[in-house]
Amino acid sequence: MSTPLRTSDMSIPLCRPMCSTDIPPCVGSGAGSVQVHWVSEENYMFRLSSLRPDLLQWLQTDPIHPSVFHRVVSHWLEEELPDLSVSRQRSCLTWGIPVPSDSSHVIYVWLDALVNYLTAAGYPDPNLAPWGPATHLLGKDILRFHAIYWPAFLIAAGLPPPQKLLVHSHWTCGGTKMSKSLKNVVDPAECIRRYTKDGLRYFLLRHGAAERDCDFTHNTVCTLLNSELADALGGLLNRCTASNINPMQHFPHYHHESVPTTTHDQLHSLLKNLQKLPAEVDHWIRKFQVNKALESIDANIRRSNSFFQSQAPWKLQKGVEKEACWKDSVLYLTLESLRLYATLLLPAVPELATVALDRLGVPPNKRTLKGNSFFAATRGESCSFQGQIFGPDRGLLFPRLERSKKNTVRI
C-alpha cells in the first residue's frame, strides 16, 4: 500500500455540549445544539491524491450502475483528491487496530472496515478470493467510500478494483425519510402478513428504482398488486383455464389455417413482442434495473389480455369447424404466453410462478429458458405442450386486496 505520510495539521471538528460563547453552534446532528471546537492532531495519511489517475482509468470501464451515480463519481474525480486520514491517536481512540510499527496510533474507519471485505472473501488465498469479478451492492449514502476510497485501497495494494458497483437509492414512507422518531418505519413482517412474501417482493422489485428514491405507502402496494398480479396475470390464467371455456383442461392444438385474415397483423405483433421478451428482460436484469424487466413482462401480459378479449373465444361456435379451431388456437397462444410469463417471473415471485406453472402442467425440467422453446407450433414446429393436461386448480393466483375504512389493507 502507498507509504503513509505523517502530518501535524489535521484539523478535526469536535462537537461538545452547548456553552455560552459567541461561536455559532452546530444544529445538524439531530441531537440539539452542540458547540463546535476545532482541534489539531497528528495522523497517518493515505496518499489518495496520487491515485486519482488510476481511479479515472478504472472509471472508464463503466463499473458504476446506474449511470446517474457514475456521473456523480466522475464529477468528484474532476477535482484534485485530498489525502485521507487513516489513523487516530491511541490516547483518544483505544479500541482501534494498532498501526503496524506505531502502537501510539490506531487505524481509523473506513480503512479497516473496507479491508474487512478482503478478509471475508478469504484473502490472500486466490481460490477463495476471486476479487476481480466481484459486484458490490451499496446504498447511495456510502458511494464515496466505495467508489473512491475502496478502489484506491485495492489499487495501492496491487489488487484489482471491483468490477461492478450496484448503487441503490432509498425507500421513503409517505414522501418522508423513514425514522423511528417519526414512527413511519415500515414493518416487513407485517407487510408479509398483509401481502404475502411474493406480493411484497414483487412490489419492492417492480416499484423500486435504484436510480431514485421510491415511496412506500399501503395504498400504492394495494393498487399495484391488484392491477398486475390479481387482475392482469391472475385474471388471464383463471380465464383460459376455466372449465367453461376449456372443458378438456388442457393445452389445445394450434391451427395455422384458422387464423382470421383480420387478425393476422395483431397476431404478428403479439408474437413479435413475445419472442423478444426474454432478451429484453435479460437486458434490464444485466443493467440491474429489475423494475424495468418486470415492467416489460407486465406490458406483455396486458397485450395478451387485450388479444384474448378481442378474440372472445367464449363466443366462438363449437359446431363451426373453423371457429372451433381458432378458439383452440387462441387458447394455445394465451397458455403459451402464460407459460413464458411464469418462467420469467420465477426469480421475482417464485411461489406464485410455481403455482401458475403447476396449473399449466409444466414439468420441473421445462421451467427454464435454457433449451426451452415457446410458441413452437406457430412456426410449424413440434410442440410437446399441445394436448398437455393441466395440473390441479388451487383457486385464485393472487386474491385481490381490499382497503378497509382505516386505510389499512386486508386480503
Structural domains in the chain plus CATH codes: 44-168 (2.170.220.10), 229-404 (1.10.730.10)
Cβ distance 201 to 348 under 8 Å?
yes
Q: What is the mean pLDDT of each run of 10 residues along the chain (411 residues)?
A: 42 38 53 73 91 97 95 96 92 87 89 87 74 81 96 91 93 87 90 97 96 94 97 98 95 95 95 97 93 98 98 86 94 98 98 98 95 94 95 96 60 40
Query: What CA–CA distance (Å, rounded) separates 307 from 345?
Result: 21
Return d(Cα 304, Cα 306) in angstroms, integer: 5
C-alpha cell at 362: 409444466
pLDDT of residue 10: 45
CB atoms within 10 A of CB 176: 10
pLDDT of residue 12: 40
pLDDT of residue 127: 73
Question: Do residues 88 and 106 touch, judged by C-beta distance below 8 A?
Answer: yes
CA-wise closest residue to 11 among 40, 42, 35: 40
**pLDDT at residue 35 in the model:** 78
pLDDT at 261: 93
Q: How far apart, in whole angstroms, are the C-alpha atoms of residue 165 and residue 156?
A: 19
Antiparallel, parallel or unpaired: β 135-139 and 164-168: parallel
Q: Which three cell numbers stand for residue 384?
A: 410437446
Q: Which of 135, 387, 147 is nearest to 248 (CA)?
A: 387
Side chain identity at 348, as an amino acid letter?
A: A
Asked whether 42 and 106 are in contact (CB, 8 A), the reply is no
113: amino acid identity, one letter: A
How many CB atoms neighbour CB 35 within 10 A? 16
